[in-house]
Amino acid sequence: MADGSISGITTNQRLRLDLPQVTFALNDLYPSSTTYAQVYKGNAQLGIVGTIVPGSAVVINDSIPQDRVLIADKYASVFDSNGRWTMELVTVTPFGIDRLAYVSFDIERTITVHGTLTSIEE
């Protein structure tokens, strides 16, 4: 059975201007599967379709399970607003869709400069 983990971001972490490098560890990916990380606004919910994190998709066409480690560090563009977000690993197999791991965190890119609110765009 496939499993995975997300490291580099922790549950309830508050992210400001610089987003950390994230590592996706994927184990025993099923033959004929597609696995990817996605993000969406809000807390974790099953069945949500989010935005795929650039560089996180893996397609396994081999006949034996595979392991992969992927690193993402240029993914800031997938976040279009401040607030609560969830990042999750999803695998799609001939048997259905399974969530392998998730982490929910907060993004706050608005800073106060001399009493004025400023949003930082990346």
pLDDT tens digits, one per residue of 56-81: 999 999 889 999 999 999 999 999 99
Question: What pLDDT shows up at residue 116?
Answer: 57
Question: What pLDDT shows up at residue 112?
Answer: 63
At the topology level of CATH, where does 3-119 sit?
A: Immunoglobulin-like (2.60.40)
Question: What pLDDT shows up at residue 121?
Answer: 52
Q: Taking the chain (122 residues) in consecutive chunks of 10 residues, what is each chunk's mean pLDDT?
A: 95 91 96 96 95 95 93 93 97 94 93 60 50
Count how many Cα atoms sit within 13 Å of the Cα of residue 21 in the half-sphere of its side chain.
Answer: 4
**Residue 24, CA distances (Å) to 32, 56, 62, 64, 120 in order:** 19, 8, 20, 20, 27
Indicate the pTM of the whole model. Answer: 0.86
Which residues are CB-contacts of 13 (< 8 A; sequence separation ≥ 6)? Answer: 105, 106
Question: What pLDDT shows up at residue 119?
Answer: 56
